[in-house]
Structure 1
Amino acid sequence: MSNLFYRNLQLLILTICLIVVWGLSSFFSLPRLEDPELTQRNAFITTVFPGASAERVEFLVTDKIEQELFEIKAIDTIQSTSRLGFSTVSIQLKEQVKNVDQIWSRVRDKITDIAPQLPAGASTPKFEDSQPKANAMIVALTWEQDSPTNYAILRRWSQELEDRLRFVQGTEKVELFGTPQEEIVVEINPEELSSLGITAQELSQQILRSDAKVAAGQLRGSNNNLLFEVNGELDSLERISSIPISFGNRSQFTRLGDIAQVKKGIIEPASELALINGRHAIAIAAMVESNQRLDEWAKAAHRTLAEFETQLPRGIGLDIIFNQNRYVEARLNQVISNLVLGALLVVGVTLLIMGWKSALIVGSALPLSVLIVFGAMKIQGIPLHQMSVTGIIIALGLLIDNAIIVVDEVQSHLREGIAPHRAVTKTIHHIAIPLLASTLTSVLAFLPIALAPGGTGEFTGTIGVTVILALLSSLALSLTVIPALVGKLHRWGNAPVIGSWWQTGFSHPRLTQTYGWVL
């Protein structure tokens, strides 16, 4: 049984092919992110109580919400802030909590229960939680004309781009940033109003009364009752400018636009602004679903942006501020370069010391082990991100130890004249337990990282998981495929005791004697 792979060449080839196909298919289908996803354990509950002092907000709103939340044992800390007309309660769950969705559902139920107990005038408490997840791409539309920024135009094009990015396959969420709220400003001339005998307050009331839908009558029928309304909604500058203003004991009328200047402006101070190289802009941020390949999504997004940019009018520029895929690809390229460099170094050193056959086998152990890791990551649902990639890089130096030991042991038996099948069997029986013990020792060293609880474990845990997977894959290969390859690549019968350096490795009697003396 120990030389099963040596006795069955078809099984050996099939196993290697399956590892290669499994590993490569898993690598190309694994989701790719920059950072691991963290479980949302923080949330906020906000309540508006207009006109209430901080003390009243604390007593009538905040305390009641806190008392309800204290009943949920999974909550670790509750912090609150009460100020004029506003209450904020922040919640943090315990690190060991796994079923966070159920806990947040209970919190929402508590909010629903407490809402009727709040004083009149207080808004319904609003539950807010934000997933700690990085944006995949941030794009900005900038106003590049010398004229004042026209946010109406910028907003319209930004919303168009928002819709297009939302339809890219794999997009989870798209948000706009830097869109200040606009207001319609009515600039009055005090002298003009004084000549008409109107005060600013009276003018304001007349404008307010014009912004309403007034019932004009009702049509009753045998089957329907229809209500007619006059559309008095102020939805444009022209509509506002044409508001009739009465003066002279309501006997005379004039248009608002004739006595005041009506224009759009930005509410000062602006709630949010975006500046790109000193120019006003609106930013569009997109997130990608967790089960998607970021590189494929980025390609589709770039095609959408290229098509959209050709349709932009002159004076509006498009800039890519952040592209997460650049960092993800850099880390993956780092893994591939480290893997190739490590394999070349291993092959070079092994060729010098043990010969070309041993170098070929030891060098193949490295990519085969990594391919098994990719397959195991696919099964466990571990994406490719900086933590899992770091674990693979750490494991590169540990993967070849078992292979070198096995190859050297089999070669030693072959040099003694033992037949290849017996050399393979004897090697596995002799080193299986020591290899298992040494591998388990290394596994236990990384186990605390893999099993770390809470947010720390969610972020760094995949380092330990990927290292452990790499160590176990190396052990499995060293006890199955590697010794069989050594036996197949060596000649049947006695292995040559003396040969060229590229066959048996470089050896110098004086160096060997000195090394033995040092040991």
Structure 2
Amino acid sequence: MSLYRLLTRYQRFVFGFAILMALAGLVAYSSMARQEDPSFPYRVGILKVVFPGASANQIEKLITEPLEEELAQVEEIKQLETISRDNIAVFTIQLKDRIYATDAAWDRVRRAMERAQREFPDGVSDIELDDRRMDIPTVVLSIMGDDDPIVLADAADEIKQHLLTVPGVSRIEVNGAPEKELVIAADETVLHQLGINRQTIVQHLQQRNALIPGGLINNGDRFIRINTQSDVQELNDLALLPITLPNGQRVPLNALASISIQPREPLAAQTFHNGERAVSLGVITVRGQTDTIAFGEGLRKKLDEIRPMFAPLEIKEAFFQPTYVKARLDGLQ
């Protein structure tokens, strides 16, 4: 029996099957994830080691060579490029193309880093591996409306915690926020009049900020941890820290010095929105089947909820990928 006769004999079945497939296709199209950028395995990472005060030759001998020897034992690594400069070593690590379980591979890289770190000299201040270099933010937000970058950075940290509750958010990167440092500027004239010096203040700070374990109390049913509150947790606590004078009297620290939290010098990379100082949040979605359009709607709803909480600061969209995805899909219809 020819195919034509078979189709004409079972016309109802054929038409019913075709309609069913068309409906299934429409349902699949309406429910499928909508993304502009595909997801790729994390096969590229950047490793940075900071050794302040070391020359490029010292970095090469003390940092780069030990790390290269340990990383050479990680069989998943396809290519390793290193740059040794004054104060810093930078490693670009690329995994082999056949590696899809990249988390396990990066774990082995981290174990190699730990082995090499045992040989590092004292003074190495930072060692960091970024193995998520291929993630692209779906949304970039700018926090602005104040000249003080500390105010913007604090607001960005709070906004980040709110946005992490939005379904589909994987992580949020903060860019342009300065590193903070506590500045205690003592008035030398006042210190001299009271018969003390800066070292006196330093000693009181060390004593007050000591971490003293309080231990546990067993009341029969459970253990209760004792908090000694021996460390300084609030700026106001530090301002009221009593300083003992040679005559036995005590005065609060804020009577002897000004206390503030300021951006650490030199300033880190800064971000601007239309020429105005800002701190940006890069929102990265969960890899895989995330519907970018639905995600954007949920994120904007959350932003509308929290904006009044941070007024007069502004939360502006520097980049909003869901809008572009929707426009392109609408253009296909």
TM-score for both structures, normalised by structure 2? 0.81
Matched, 1:30 2:28: no
Asked if the contact 2:106/2:131 (under 8 Å) is kept, the reply is: no
Q: Among 73, 78, 81, which residue is 2:80 paired with?
A: 78
* Structure having the larger proportion of residues in helix: 1
Q: SS state of the match for residue 262, structure 1?
A: strand
Asked if the contact 2:217/2:226 (under 8 Å) is kept, the reply is: no
Q: Which residue does 1:46 correspond to in 2?
A: 48
Q: CA deviation at 1:313?
A: 5.0
Q: Among 316, 321, 329, which residue is 1:319 paired with?
A: 316
Matched, 1:284 2:281: yes
Equivalent pairs counted in the alignment come to 329
Matched, 1:303 2:305: no
**Alpha-carbon distance between aligned partners in 1 of 2:109 and 2:55, rounded to the nearest angstrom:** 26
Q: Which residue does 2:209 correspond to in 1?
A: 211
Structure 1 residues 82-93: aligned runs within 5 Å? 82-93=84-95
Partner deviation per Cα, 1:456-478 (whole Å, 9 max, x = no partner)? xxxxxxxxxxxxxxxxxxxxxxx
**Alpha-carbon distance between aligned partners in 2 of 1:292 and 1:149, rounded to the nearest angstrom:** 36
Asked if the contact 2:48/2:88 (under 8 Å) is kept, the reply is: yes
Residues 294 and 206 from structure 1, CA distance in 2 versus in 1: closer, same or farther, beyond 3 angstroms?
same
Write the letter of the residue equivalent to 1:66.
Answer: E
Structure 1 residues 248-259: aligned runs within 5 Å? 248=246, 251-259=248-256
Q: CA deviation at 1:327?
A: 1.4
Residues 183 and 197 from structure 1, CA distance in 2 versus in 1: closer, same or farther, beyond 3 angstroms?
same
Q: Which residue does 2:145 correspond to in 1?
A: 143
**Alpha-carbon distance between aligned partners in 2 of 1:26 and 1:226, rounded to the nearest angstrom:** 55
Q: Which residue does 2:12 correspond to in 1?
A: 10
Q: CA deviation at 1:291?
A: 0.7
Q: CA deviation at 1:294?
A: 1.0
State the identity %: 24
RMSD (CA atoms)? 3.5
Residues 40 and 143 from structure 1, CA distance in 2 versus in 1: closer, same or farther, beyond 3 angstroms?
same
Q: SS state of the match for residue 3, structure 2?
A: coil
Which structure is larger by alpha-carbon Rg, 1 or 2?
1
Q: Which residue does 1:245 correspond to in 2?
A: 243
Q: CA deviation at 1:302?
A: 1.7
**Alpha-carbon distance between aligned partners in 2 of 1:33 and 1:334, rounded to the nearest angstrom:** 15
Query: For structure 2, which runs of at least 5 residues remain unmatched after alignment?
Result: none
Q: Which residue does 1:175 correspond to in 2?
A: 173
Q: Among 105, 128, 150, which residue is 1:103 paired with?
A: 105
Q: SS state of the match for residue 185, structure 1?
A: strand
Write the letter of the residue equivalent to 2:106.
Answer: W
* Structure having the larger proportion of residues in strand: 2
Residues 14 and 157 from structure 1, CA distance in 2 versus in 1: closer, same or farther, beyond 3 angstroms?
same
Structure 1 residues 387-402: aligned runs within 5 Å? none
Write the letter of the residue equivalent to 2:156.
Answer: S
Asked if the contact 1:32/1:295 (under 8 Å) is kept, the reply is: yes
Q: CA deviation at 1:35?
A: 1.7
Q: CA deviation at 1:13?
A: 0.8
Write the letter of the residue equivalent to 1:191.
Answer: T
Q: Which residue does 2:192 correspond to in 1?
A: 194
Structure 1 residues 384-423: aligned runs within 5 Å? none
Higher mean alpha-carbon deviation, 205-214 vs 24-33, is at: 205-214
**Alpha-carbon distance between aligned partners in 2 of 1:219 and 1:106, rounded to the nearest angstrom:** 38
Residues 222 and 105 from structure 1, CA distance in 2 versus in 1: closer, same or farther, beyond 3 angstroms?
closer
Asked if the contact 1:115/1:124 (under 8 Å) is kept, the reply is: no
**Alpha-carbon distance between aligned partners in 2 of 1:100 and 1:328, rounded to the nearest angstrom:** 28
Partner deviation per Cα, 1:358-392 (whole Å, 9 max, x = no partner)? xxxxxxxxxxxxxxxxxxxxxxxxxxxxxxxxxxx
Q: Which residue does 1:460 correspond to in 2?
A: none
Residues 26 and 263 from structure 1, CA distance in 2 versus in 1: closer, same or farther, beyond 3 angstroms?
same
Structure 1 residues 120-139: aligned runs within 5 Å? 122=124, 126-139=128-141
Q: Which residue does 2:67 correspond to in 1?
A: 65
Q: Which residue does 1:164 correspond to in 2?
A: 162
**Alpha-carbon distance between aligned partners in 2 of 1:162 and 1:312, rounded to the nearest angstrom:** 13
Residues 254 and 274 from structure 1, CA distance in 2 versus in 1: closer, same or farther, beyond 3 angstroms?
same
Q: CA deviation at 1:295?
A: 1.0
**Alpha-carbon distance between aligned partners in 1 of 2:329 and 2:217, rounded to the nearest angstrom:** 72
Q: SS state of the match for residue 212, structure 1?
A: coil
Write the letter of the residue equivalent to 2:185.
Answer: E
